Amino acid sequence: MRVTFRLVVSIVLAAAAVSAGWTFFSARAERARLIDELDHRGSLLAEGLREAAEPLAKRADAKALERIAGRFGGRERLRGVSLHRPDGTAVAATSGLPPTAPPPREGRPFDCGLLDDGSLHRCTAPLEESPGFIAVFHGAAHVEAGVREVWRRGFMRLLTQVLLMSAITLWIVHLDVLAPIERTVEWMRLLRAGEDPGPAPPQGSVLGPLAREATKLARSLETARAAAEEEARLRHAGHALWTPERLKEHTKDRLRGKPMIVVANREPYLHVRKDGAVTVLRPASGLVAGVEPILKACGGTWVAHGAGDADRETVDSSDRVRVPPEEPRYSLRRVWLTREQEEGYYYGFANEGLWPLCHIAHARPQFREQDWKQYHAVNRLFADAVLTEIEGVEEPCVLIQDYHFALLPRMIKEARPDARVSLFWHIPWPNPEAFGICPWQREILDGMLGADVVGFHIQYHCNNFLETVDRALECRIDWERFAVRRGGHATLVKPYPISVALEENAGPPPSKEELLRSIGARGTLLVLGVDRLDYTKGILERFLAVERFLEDNPAYVGRFVFVELGAPSRTTIPRYRDFVEEVKREALRINARFDTKDTRGWRPIVLAVGHHERTEVARWYRVADACVVTSLHDGMNLVAKEYVASDREEPGTLILSRFTGASRELRDALIVNPYDVERVAAALRQAIEMEPEERRRRWESMREAVREHNIYRWGARLVDDLSRARPAGAAST
């Protein structure tokens, strides 16, 4: 209330100052205008009377002069006329006028002005034939009255403005300040009390930024409290839940406060130009979803390729930017690549060579000498960036992500033997015969074995890797510890099934109908697919299963809708461009087949191609009745876990390929062979028609698996093994 009073008083004082200044100048202008009018009238009348007054001046005939003046009496405030000798003595004058008047100033034929008391205005003119002058007097009381009227109107205007502005100010303050504060306070109070506060308070008012920060703070506190309660519950039951806070303390303890460096090709935040402004894009990436929570919890630096068209505009002189933008927790260090480097290293060797080689999914690997050279050069470029980040740090911790950087561990180790280095391989590792296709398999294996820890999603891939190393290199395999000893260095090879953080207390879910309308779809049963448009994801097989499901179950025609959120990927590679076109053609074919008079406006398959942000995808997870993951070959596939981790009011159903790492953990999903179209179609029907009790039992079991084996536990296990590594030159602990 005190703030409101000060605000209103400030507005009143400011308005009063402006109004007083404006009125002062208006009054002065009005005074000058009225005096100018009197000057004009007096000079005209003096000019008109001068000739007739000449004889009267000679005779000093006051009565005749009064008769002449009487003709104008009462008109335009005329008070009288007088004739004077050169010294100012009156010769003749109408009654009531001063007996003397100063002569006109030299050089002025008409000398006009107010008398001393301001009640009379006098205008004098010299006589032409007789010595002396004529004086014309007008009443001037109206001049001050006019000035007072200006001040009165100014005061009334000020009073009206003050009342109106005060009322509007109080209304705005109440509407946009006090009321939002009251709602936010009440919302936070309910949240603090453990009650359901409903939707977050509106944040579009003047205090929007403050409300957003208060909401985030309240959500963070609620999440922390929920995590603490859950951890206490699990500890009571003999379990210990991994949380961001626990991982942070665990990492500090294991790494003794050393910074954590994550290296990945993809950056978690891109700055791009959109409609002339720089905006932040959060790519829907499994790697980002899995790794970023660790850096958010522990801090550190993420080193990545700067791919956004506005990335250079947002970094500092060291090519760093703090992220996330709304709540910075760690640094993003960007590495710049030329078009030639990106074509050879990323699109060429990594994604036309290693990707199809490791996935064994109907695409022939392409290995070119020039691509290999660029792959080697870019790995060296990233090594230089990492070495800059860890300069002066003893025993730094470096977490290298994925197949883009197979050579990087060795490069870092050669420059910094004391560094603790891990490489996590997010995609499958094929059998030794398949990997032997790569002309540079020895160089790749040697680069990977520079790491202290090499991780895969499942044990099967670890076995394949060790067998590949055993056949290709001179080394000793310790099958009991799953370690490789080569050149005096030991590399631990273990499975670390990556996961996600469980979403809880996310608030009311979005409207399914509104989401469907936003992409031009309609239906009552929503089944979701979320993928990069990649030939390994089984998208075509999934579409065929939808077609077979509708063939076998025509009752669902018009009700069932399958939404595929497809992100374009590696579109410069011909195989990927062809695949995208094939997916679009297949969706059009199936939609055309079921297009009848009774189903106008309905499509069984809605293909939404575009870059979908994580927040957008999360909204779909929360309303989809089922999610289909039919990868033909996958290391883990975090889409499956993200769907299970979503905060939903009602349980959903997951249809999951047996060829994903996730199928080892989410055993209560409907596990299918994606190549078996009939079985996937049957699973769609089973998912839709499943009894509520069974659906809830399966859902809660999968949620518990993700809760217990979350991303923080993944990070803790990796950090544990990395902290036990004994790099050359490391101080004893």
Quote the pLDDT of residue 82.
82
Contacts 24+ apart (CB under 8 A), 351-356: 351/570, 351/573, 352/573, 352/575, 353/438, 354/403, 354/406, 354/438, 355/403, 355/427, 355/536
Task: Give the H/E segment covering residue 9.
Answer: helix 2-59
Quote the pLDDT of residue 706.
95
Q: Give the residue among 492, 479, 481, 482 at the shortest CA–CA distance from 450.
A: 492
pLDDT of 65 > 70? The answer is no
> Token pair of 360, please?
């064994």
> Token pair of 372, please?
């290999």
Residue 1's pLDDT band (cuts 50, 70, 90): low
Residue 98, classed as helix, strand or coil, is coil
pLDDT digits (tens, 9 = 90+) for 186-218: 776 776 665 666 666 665 555 556 556 666 666
Quote the pLDDT of residue 19.
83
Please report, to the nearest 10 degrees, the dihedral formed by the alpha carbons of residues 714, 715, 718, 722 taken in order.
Answer: -170
Quote the pLDDT of residue 162.
82
Residue 512's pLDDT band (cuts 50, 70, 90): very high
In whole angstroms, give the CA distance from residue 517 to residue 657.
29
CATH number (3.50.30.10, 3.30.9.10, 3.30.470.20, 3.40.50.2000) of 512-709 reads 3.40.50.2000
In whole angstroms, give the CA distance from residue 77 to residue 114.
14
Ranges of beta strands (E only) in 425-487 are 453-456, 476-478, 483-486
Domain range list for the chain: 2-145, 211-241, 259-495, 512-709
Quote the pLDDT of residue 7.
74
Give the sign of the dihedral formed by CA 135, CA 138, CA 144, CA 146: negative
Three-class SS string for 363-416?
CCCCCCHHHHHHHHHHHHHHHHHHHHHCCCCCCCEEEEECHHHCCHHHHHHHHC
Compute the radius of gyration of the chain from its Cα atoms: 44
Same topology, domains 259-495 and 512-709? Answer is yes
pLDDT of 323 > 70? The answer is yes
In whole angstroms, give the CA distance from residue 470 to residue 388.
34
729 burial level (CB within 10 Å; 0-12, 13-18, 19+):
exposed
In whole angstroms, give the CA distance from residue 364 to residue 362.
7
107: left (phi over 0), alpha (psi -120 to 50) or beta: left
Lowest-confidence segment of 8-12, 200-204, 371-375 by average pLDDT? 200-204
Q: Give the residue among 697, 650, 693, 617 at the shortest CA–CA distance from 525.
A: 650
610 burial level (CB within 10 Å; 0-12, 13-18, 19+):
exposed
pLDDT digits (tens, 9 = 90+) for 376-387: 999 999 999 999
In whole angstroms, give the CA distance from residue 453 to residue 399.
9
In whole angstroms, give the CA distance from residue 386 to residue 265.
13
> Token pair of 317, please?
């002189």
Please report, to the nearest 10 degrees, the dihedral formed by the alpha carbons of residues 658, 659, 665, 669 taken in order.
Answer: -30
> Token pair of 333, please?
């260090």
Residue 61's pLDDT band (cuts 50, 70, 90): low
Q: Give the residue among 412, 497, 480, 496 at the shortest CA–CA distance from 452.
A: 412
pLDDT digits (tens, 9 = 90+) for 152-189: 888 888 888 888 887 887 787 777 777 777 777 777 67
Residue 129, classed as helix, strand or coil, is coil
**Between these two residues, 434 and 109, which has the higher pLDDT value?**
434
Three-class SS string for 638-688?
HHHHHHHHCCCCCCCEEEEECCCHHHHCCCCCEEECCCCHHHHHHHHHHHH
> Token pair of 107, please?
């050089």
Check residue 262 and report its DSSP letter. Answer: E
Quote the pLDDT of residue 733.
38
Q: Average pLDDT of 426-447?
A: 96
> Token pair of 461, please?
């891939």
Residue 66's pLDDT band (cuts 50, 70, 90): low
353, 365 contact by CB (below 8 A)? yes
The percent of residues in the chain predicted with pLDDT above 70, rounded, is 87
Measure CA 700 to chain center: 33
Quote the pLDDT of residue 494.
96
pLDDT digits (tens, 9 = 90+) for 329-348: 999 999 999 999 999 999 99
CB atoms within 10 A of CB 6: 10
pLDDT digits (tens, 9 = 90+) for 208-247: 565 566 666 666 666 666 655 555 555 544 456 888 888 8
The residues facing 565 across adjacent strands are: 530, 608
> Token pair of 182, please?
């009251």
CA 483 to each of CA 100, 375, 492: distance values in angstroms, whole numbers, following the listed order = 126, 27, 4
Quote the pLDDT of residue 346.
96
pLDDT of 296 > 90? The answer is no
Lowest-confidence segment of 283-287, 380-384, 407-411, 630-634 by average pLDDT? 283-287
Quote the pLDDT of residue 731.
47
CA atoms within 13 A on the CB side of 725: 34
In whole angstroms, give the CA distance from residue 617 to residue 608.
12
Quote the pLDDT of residue 134.
85
Quote the pLDDT of residue 238.
47
301, 334 contact by CB (below 8 A)? no
Please list, residue by residue across 640-679, b when 16 or more beta carbons sit within 10 angstroms of its beta carbon and e when fewer do: bbbbbbbebeebbbbbbbebbbbbebbebbbbbebeebeb
Residue 656's pLDDT band (cuts 50, 70, 90): very high
338 burial level (CB within 10 Å; 0-12, 13-18, 19+):
exposed
656, 670 contact by CB (below 8 A)? yes
Measure CA 9 to chain center: 37
Q: Tell me whether the omega of the peptide bond preceding residue 324 falls within 30 degrees of 0, making it cis.
A: yes
CB atoms within 10 A of CB 237: 8
pLDDT of 322 > 60? The answer is yes
Q: Average pLDDT of 249-265?
A: 87
Pairing of the two strands 120-126 and 111-114? antiparallel
List the CATH code of the domain at 259-495: 3.40.50.2000
pLDDT digits (tens, 9 = 90+) for 555-597: 999 999 999 999 998 888 989 999 999 999 999 999 999 988 7
Q: Does domain 2-145 have CATH number 3.30.450.20?
A: yes
